[in-house]
Amino acid sequence: MRIRRTVPLALIVAALAASPSMAGAKLAPPKPLAWTDMAGDANALNDQGGLAPAGPGDTAGPAQDAAADILGVTFARLDDGKTLLGLTVTMKLSGAPSQGHLYRVTGAAGACSTFWFQFNWTAGGNGSSTLRHNCVANADPTSVGGTTNQTIDGKVVGNSIVWTLLVKELPPGVKVGSPIAPALGETRAIIGVAGAPQSLTAPVIDQTATQSAAYKIGQ
């Protein structure tokens, strides 16, 4: 007597095909987004919206500020091997970051036309790391341009600034899978000291080329 197959073959095949991903539940290989900038051009004289906005592109010398000289910017996933935790943004410099500089990676994400990673290190003060965004309207009259400065982890690691944005810290409208369109990295001088009511962040000392690629949160 023949035994009848009670489960359609298509369902068995589908179950077998699905089992590896269900059992493993591993993250896909990470795909960082990185770009570079030439060394030795932190002189505020390039075409960087600084002293000479119509000037030539990246140009080395003559007055090079190693603490402001960007070598590269990298967006990378942060995970524990199994679970996505967030992302890091790293700005690598020629020299160790120092007081009197603003380090910034500009960009946009979701409905936020401003989605900037900032490390504001006023002379005489401690570095302040924020995600500056306009994902929600900021009614505070002292807010610059209606943006919010959300405190996030950011620290000096060797010659780099490393920001960490956790999934649980993502502002409204930005979630896992949302693309961040990083525009560029820049360094600025901060004219002013800690405790002053308002410091001027100018001029731009170094700047990277504007990027067209996006980084999807989780990639």
Q: At which residue do the structure tokens 């369902």 appear?
A: 11
Q: Is 41 in the site for Ca ion (CB under 5 A)?
A: yes
Which of 50, 65, 67, 69 touches Ca ion by CB under 5 A?
A: 69
Q: Is 186 in the site for Ca ion (CB under 5 A)?
A: no
Judge contact between 151 and 130, C-beta under 8 A.
yes
Q: Which residue, 37 or 120, has its beta carbon nearer to Ca ion?
A: 37
**Smallest gap from residue 41 Cβ to Ca ion (A):** 5
Q: Which residue, 192 or 203, has its beta carbon nearer to Ca ion?
A: 203
Q: Which residue type sits at 23?
A: A
> CB neighbours of 43 closer than 8 A, spacing ≥ 6?
59, 60, 61, 62, 63, 64, 65, 205, 206
Residue ranges in 134-153 that form contacts with Ca ion under rule CB under 5 A: none
Q: Is 37 in the site for Ca ion (CB under 5 A)?
A: yes
Q: Give how far the C-alpha of residue 112 lies from the chain's centroid of Cα atoms, to the nearest Å.
A: 14
Of 105-113, 129-137, 180-188, 205-213, which segment contacts Ca ion by CB under 5 A?
A: 205-213
| Distance, CA of 69 to CA of 96 (rounded, Å) | 10
CA dist 107 → 7, 36, 160 (Å): 53, 16, 19
Which helix (DSSP H) or strand (DSSP E) does residue 117 occupy? strand 115-121
| Interface with Ca ion: number of residues (CB under 5 A) | 6
Q: Which residue, 58 or 174, has its beta carbon nearer to Ca ion?
A: 58
Q: Which residue, 131 or 161, has its beta carbon nearer to Ca ion?
A: 161
Q: Which residue, 112 or 161, has its beta carbon nearer to Ca ion?
A: 161
Which of 33, 44, 45, 58 touches Ca ion by CB under 5 A?
A: 58
What DSSP letter does each residue of 159-191 carry, written as one string?
TEEEEEEEGGGPPTT--TTPEEEEEEEEEEEEE
Which of 77, 86, 206, 215 touches Ca ion by CB under 5 A?
A: 206
Which of 33, 45, 68, 70 touches Ca ion by CB under 5 A?
A: 70
- Judged by the rule CB under 5 A, the positions of this chain that interact with Ca ion are 37, 41, 58, 69-70, 206
